[in-house]
Structure 1
Amino acid sequence: MSRPEQLEKQIKVDFNTENYVAKNTVLFRHSEKSKVSHNIADLARKYGEGPPKFYPKTFEVMIDTGQQTKLSYESISKNPSEMKTAISSEELSDLIEYAKSLGVNDIGFTKVNSKLIFKDRAILHDNAIVLTMEMNPKQISLAPSRDTGHEVHFTYNKLGRISNKIADYLRTKGFSAQAGPAMGGDVDYKHLAEEAAMGAIGNHGLLISPVVGPRQRITAIYTNIENLPFPKINPHNWIKSFCSTCQICSKRCPANAIVGIEKASITNEYIELPKCAKSFSTSFGCSICIKECIFNKSDYHKVHEVHFRKTNTFD
């Protein structure tokens, strides 16, 4: 057995909230419309050629990410016995400032729709603080490469650590919190971020944000804070119209795995997972759809301006 295969066997990110709370705890669960969570590593083994050819150091980072994931569930027991449910404007500003100081790229807020909770999963609260973190553009530009794959998982690791720190921070302020793991997790993060108006989902099924396009990873913290500033509209929905005509990611995908935004509007599946998983396995985690996306290469606002001139609408 190779060193990467040995390291891969030590990675565990599949945990369940129910195993870390008292039996009488009321949890928020999936709905009939929920999707099954897909573990990309399992898919790569099933449809690909074994573990992706990452650096051994990348697998070591993934092991630590798994440990951070376990901590996110174990730390639920640290929630205060007497909890506040309302946050002041000053406390909210301090929270945002603290998150940004840790390296968070953007922060948003939304109510968790039960259909976004994966089947057979549950979360402690249905108020979400959504976090994104940028991946290094230079490393993404090298895709597919071991350096790109390492950057993806290095970002997962940093974001997982940050979500645990922010959950602990909220507890010190008297709130209940559950850190969502950066890799894996119980909720569909990209749709959660879209509902938090942090961007919109593009043709490749990834969140496109106005700051870094698709070049980010996402996580969330679930909390009992009831007065978070949930958005009423999403100003980024024009992206969907743009992506339906662009489709560069579909054309450049080496596995021809991108179903696309128009078909996804019916099936809610943007990617043919077996095809994607094979490319993921053989091409260092791939990431070409991120690299080739026009929003990775161009300024969000310039793309919006061009789209407006062509369609004569700022939808």
Structure 2
Amino acid sequence: MATPATATTQTNPRRPKRGTYRPRPETLALLKTSGNAINGVGETTPRQASPFFWHPPDMHPFGELQAYARQNFRKCPGSDEAFKAAYDFPELVPVSETRNLASPEELTAQATAFALAHEADAVGMTPMDPLYVVAGYTIEEPWVIVLELAHNYERLKEVPSDETNSVGMIDIADQYARGMRSSYALANWIRSQGYYAKPYPGSGAAALLHIPPAIDAGLGELGKHGSLISRQFGSGLRLAAVTTHMPLVATGPDRFGADEFCKTCQVCTRACPPAAIADEKQMVRGQDRWYVDFDKCIPYFTEASSCGICIAECPWTRPDARPKLLATMARRLEASQSFEEEAVETTR
């Protein structure tokens, strides 16, 4: 399948060409163990994810590397101020003694409307799955509400950042800040309706994974680059979430062709300086899925003051390309479904 060409890979001076990047010795010295093994690459049995890079540094072996990454982030003008906003959150209000007794359908509609009116760009609901919870943590709430926060594409495509240009990093921080505000606002609204709720804004790793419930809630499909691809925003998004006891109605997964597209697309693979993006899916904790090589990705991410190249270059992220891709993949999926139905009929 032909994929749309991109211009920013050649014109952005902060991006080394694929295959030319070599990590600094001091960076590699901090990568003391393989993150791929901790992530469960090659494991055939499902299990919870282990605490990882952005969790508190005493929970994994990458604390020094995390500190080095943060040090490099601070070299970018305005980054400190931008990320401070991503950790500025209000107090959670007490759970009201008066409960909203509307039906799950009505509560789902009300929660969605509130979230969309308070900075979220898309909302999905899914029942809690134990595999959404990071090992060593506990979540008791039976529902997850996932919020999507869309990037500004013109700013996002400036990634990666450095001392000369921090536009891309600041947009990332801005979306994390929106995730903080929107998730806390929604959690407080749910609490005001008489139900317990806890926000997971996404600006720091915690108990809840974000991508798996986002997929199950219909907010996108997993891309070859290891990030979510949304039919509305492509890969140009950040996630936040709220867990709650409020009874809701699941919004269900949405298959629109991103996974099939990734099987033949080479855009993010070719754009990745450390060549961390594989052409084939891998078995990870019992699931055959797209996976980005941590041991190749994180040294560049650390040295480049974060990255984001793969999500910026993803054809689905381009506002001009996304409608055409949706139409093309809809036709392909329809044809594939028709072929499968015909094959079933011929075997009866």
Name the TM-score class by shorter chain.
Answer: 0.7 to 0.9
Question: How many residue pairs get matched?
Answer: 278
Q: 2 CA distance for matches of 1:53 and 1:222?
A: 30
1:211 alignment partner, SS class = coil
Q: How far apart in 1 are the matches of 2:224 and 2:271?
A: 12
CA contact (8 A) 2:226 2:292 kept: yes
Inter-partner Cα distance in structure 1 for 2:96 and 2:140:
14
Answer yes or no: is 1:133 the counterpart of 2:153.
Answer: no
Partner of 2:278: 259
For 1:310 and 1:93, how far apart are their aligned partners in 2?
32
SS at match of 2:171: helix
Q: 2:304 aligns with which of 271, 280, 283?
A: 283
Counterpart check, 1:177 vs 2:197: yes
Contact 1:47 1:278 in 2 (8 A): no
* Secondary structure at the counterpart of residue 299 of structure 2: helix
The answer to whether 1:307 aligns with 2:323 is no
Match of 1:160 in 2: 180
Aligned pair in 2 of structure 1 residues 180, 53: CA closer, same or farther (>3 Å)? closer
Equivalent-residue separation in structure 2 for 1:101 and 1:309 (angstroms): 34
AA at the equivalent of 2:215: E
Deviation at 1:314, TM superposition (A): 5.9
Which residue in the other structure is 1:79 paired with?
A: 95
Deviation at 1:308, TM superposition (A): 5.1
Measured against aligned partners, the alpha-carbon deviations of 1:33-60 in whole angstroms (never above 9, x if no partner) come to 1111323496584289542344353223
| Corresponding position: 1:148 with 2:164 | no
What is the TM-score with the length of structure 2 in the denominator?
A: 0.71
- The verdict on how the C-alpha distance between 1:245 and 1:288 changes in structure 2, with shifts beyond 3 A counting, is same
- Per-residue deviation, residues 210-241 of structure 1 (Å, max 9, x unmatched): 11101011111111122x12134x33263211
Unaligned runs of 5+ in 2: 1-44, 339-348
SS in structure 2 of the partner of residue 161 of structure 1: helix
Return closer, same or farther for 1:62/1:314 CA change in 2, 3 Å cut-off.
farther
Pairing 1:185-200 to 2, within 5 Å after superposition:
185-200=206-221
1:112 pairs with one of 116, 128, 136: 128
**Is the Cα contact below 8 Å between 1:118 and 1:186 reproduced in 2?**
yes
Checking the alignment, whether the CA contact within 8 Å between 1:85 and 1:224 is kept in structure 2 is no
Distance 2:332 2:98 in 1: 55
* Cα distance between partner residues in 1 of 2:67 and 2:192: 45
Name the Cα RMSD after superposition: 2.9
Residue 119 (structure 2) aligns with? 103
SS in 1 for 2:202: coil
The aligned runs of 1:47-66 (5 Å cut-off) are: 50=69, 51-54=71-74, 55=76, 57-66=78-87
What amino acid does structure 2 have at the position aligned with 1:95? A
Greater than 4 Å deviation, 4+ residue runs: 40-45, 47-50, 81-91, 264-269, 308-311
Give the aligned partner of residue 47 of structure 2. 33
- Any idea what SS the aligned residue of 2:298 has? helix
1:121-168 superposed Cα distances (whole Å, 9 cap, x missing partner): 122402011101001111111111221111111210121111111111
Q: Quick check: 1:205–1:261 contact (8 Å CA) kept in 2?
A: no
In structure 2, give the amino acid aligned to 1:262: K
Structure 2 distance, partners of 1:139, 1:168, is 31
Stretch moving more, 37-46 or 188-197: 37-46
Rounded Cα–Cα distance in structure 2 between residues aligned with 1:200 and 1:44? 30
Q: 1:65 deviation in Å?
A: 2.9
Alpha-carbon distance change, 45 to 237 in structure 1, aligned in 2, over 3 angstroms:
farther
**In structure 2, what is the Cα distance between the partners aligned to 1:280 and 1:78?**
40
Distance in structure 2 (CA, Å) of the matches to 1:314 and 1:153: 41
Unaligned runs of 5+ residues in structure 1 are 1-30
User: Is 1:295 equivalent to 2:313 in the alignment?
Assistant: no
- Structure with greater helix percent: 1
In structure 1, what is the Cα distance between the partners aligned to 2:300 and 2:54? 11
1:245 match: secondary structure:
coil
SS at match of 1:221: strand
How far, CA to CA, are the matches of 1:176 and 1:239 in structure 2? Answer: 35
Paired position in structure 1 for 2:20: none
Residues 254 and 91 (structure 1), Cα distance of their counterparts in 2 relative to 1, 3 Å cut: same
Out of 73, 90, 94, which is 2:110 matched to? 94
The TM-score normalised by the length of structure 1 is: 0.77
Taking a change above 3 Å as real, the CA distance of residues 82 and 308 of structure 1, as seen in their structure-2 partners, is closer
